[in-house]
């Protein structure tokens, strides 16, 4: 087997880049494309007023639990106050006899449906826009999730249902597709992927997680379906000026590039170099069923991750409004 190249070798010294496009201090990347005009363009795609929330449930105790990147843990939630508190001596006393519940949680900020910070992944010691990777030590001082959360993400969303296009409930482990496949699926759906569209791709992978109901089998030989790297695909994203990629997989792309063996090269090519914001672990099945039922694949997409200072990512519950 040939030696796996470095990310820099795979992408090339002349890799497509948007560094500096929005100035030397930019921390929003391609989300800069989503201006007021794009919000109004998205609003025009509301026809029926249906709303679909795209976050998976956090802290499920039944079935397989929560889908996670290997090595992360699901939310650890616990009650701090509940009715049992008032069975004990020294319980709080409020005028009128009020009782209440309170709880705390320990979470991986990327342990549910979530937004990556632009600085979440890097190579050669540089983050998005050329920031020094050492600025991540102790806290993400540059290109954290906070600027994304402060802005919010609103625009025209377009759903490309790759699983349905290929006649499957879900794609297989390691099954790949590229920009040409996206265009073909869009054509079959009767929709066009336009500049500044928030690109939402369904693989059926979250449905597979819940219906399989077997984490050991799910993670065996772990490799997700998804987009696979090519120079042409990266140039397609740059030319289309895609601000945000949303998928129902844990890592937005095939886990290991089948040609080079490099892990998650699109995180570097799209996010680190182009400033494309990545959104992972979205629940898209209900939205996809509604889109297929009336053949309307566009909608207003609205999302606001939590405003976590110095965060590498943050949970989010996006809303698609049709």
Residue 149 near residue 318, CB atoms below 8 Å: no
Domains and CATH numbers, the chain: 7-66+109-321 (3.50.30.50), 76-106 (no CATH)
pLDDT of residue 168: 97
CA distance readout (Å), 125 to 115, 133, 254: 22, 5, 24
- pLDDT tens-digit series, residues 144-171: 999 999 999 999 999 999 999 999 999 9
CA distance readout (Å), 314 to 117, 148, 152, 279, 319: 8, 10, 12, 10, 16
CB half-sphere exposure, 262, CA atoms < 13 A: 19
CA distance readout (Å), 120 to 62, 115, 243, 251: 31, 10, 16, 12
Residue 199 near residue 236, CB atoms below 8 Å: no
In which band, very low, low, confident or very high, does the pLDDT at 314 lie, cut at 50, 70 and 90? very high
Nearest alpha-carbon partner for 85 in 102, 107, 69, 109? 102
Packing angle, helices 179-189 and 231-240, rounded to 10 = 50
What's the whole-model pTM score?
0.97
Looking at residue 118, the DSSP 8-state letter turns out to be: T
Return the residue matching tokens 């560094």.
19
- pLDDT tens-digit series, residues 294-305: 999 999 999 999
């Amino acid at each position: 087997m040939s030696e796996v190249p470095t990310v820099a070798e795979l992408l090339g010294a002349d890799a497509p880049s948007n560094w500096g496009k929005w100035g030397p201090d930019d921390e929003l990347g391609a989300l800069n494309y989503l201006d007021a005009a794009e919000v109004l363009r998205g609003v025009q795609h509301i026809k029926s007023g249906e709303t679909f929330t795209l976050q998976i449930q956090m802290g499920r105790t039944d079935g397989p639990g929560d889908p996670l990147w290997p090595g992360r843990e699901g939310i650890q939630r616990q009650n701090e106050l509940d009715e049992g508190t008032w069975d004990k001596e020294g319980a709080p006393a409020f005028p009128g006899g009020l009782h209440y519940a309170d709880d705390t949680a320990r979470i991986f900020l990327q342990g549910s449906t979530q937004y990556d910070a632009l600085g979440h992944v890097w190579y050669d010691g540089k983050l998005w826009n050329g920031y020094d990777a050492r600025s991540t030590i102790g806290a993400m001082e540059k290109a954290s999730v906070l600027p994304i959360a402060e802005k919010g993400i609103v625009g025209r969303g377009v759903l490309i249902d790759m699983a349905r296009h290929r006649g499957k409930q879900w794609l297989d482990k390691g099954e790949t597709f590229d920009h040409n496949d996206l265009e073909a699926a869009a054509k079959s759906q009767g929709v066009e992927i336009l500049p500044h569209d928030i690109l939402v791709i369904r693989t059926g992978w979250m449905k597979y997680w819940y219906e399989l109901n077997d984490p050991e089998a799910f993670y065996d030989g772990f490799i997700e379906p998804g987009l696979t790297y090519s120079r042409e695909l990266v140039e397609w994203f740059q030319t289309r000026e895609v601000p945000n990629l949303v998928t129902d997989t844990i890592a937005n792309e095939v886990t290991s590039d089948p040609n080079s063996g490099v892990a998650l090269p699109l995180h570097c090519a799209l996010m680190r170099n182009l400033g494309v914001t990545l959104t992972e672990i979205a629940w898209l099945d209900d939205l996809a069923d509604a889109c297929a039922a009336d053949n309307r694949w566009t909608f207003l997409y609205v999302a606001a991750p939590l405003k976590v200072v110095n965060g590498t990512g943050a949970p989010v519950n996006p809303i698609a409004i049709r």
